[in-house]
Amino acid sequence: MSFTGSEDHSISLTEAAHLTENYRNSVSTGATIAHYFGKDAINAILAQEDCVGIRIYYGLKDDGEKQLVICGVKANNDDLYQGELAERSILCPSNCPANNPLNT
């Protein structure tokens, strides 16, 4: 499969709220429900030569804490794993936004 960077990933708020509610209902109170990455990290990944998008891998730290690893992706579906990578997201909880349809 070839990528263009223009794939449609849109989702309605109703659908997104349903998905996040399903997840919140499947985990214990206090479990990680979201990860924050600053735009500089995302832009650095996207600015790489031949990058048409990002891929997000699930990760697990040695202490069991969930984490995400982000890398750029080329049009031919290959990861730009030797370029910019992002991790060390800021977790919710404890850094959560005000209540909204995605988190309550």
Q: What percent of the chain has pLDDT over 90?
A: 60
Mean pLDDT of all residues in the chain? 91
Encode pLDDT of 18-45 as tens digits.
Answer: 999 999 999 999 888 899 999 999 999 9
Q: What percent of the chain has pLDDT over 70?
A: 100
Burial class (CB in 10 A: 0-12, 13-18, 19+), 98: exposed
> Tokens 């996207």 — which residue?
46
Helix (H, G, I), strand (E, B) or coil at 15: helix
pLDDT value at 6 more than 80? yes
User: Rounded to two decimals, what is the model's pTM?
Assistant: 0.85
Grade residue 52 by pLDDT with cuts at 50, 70 and 90: very high
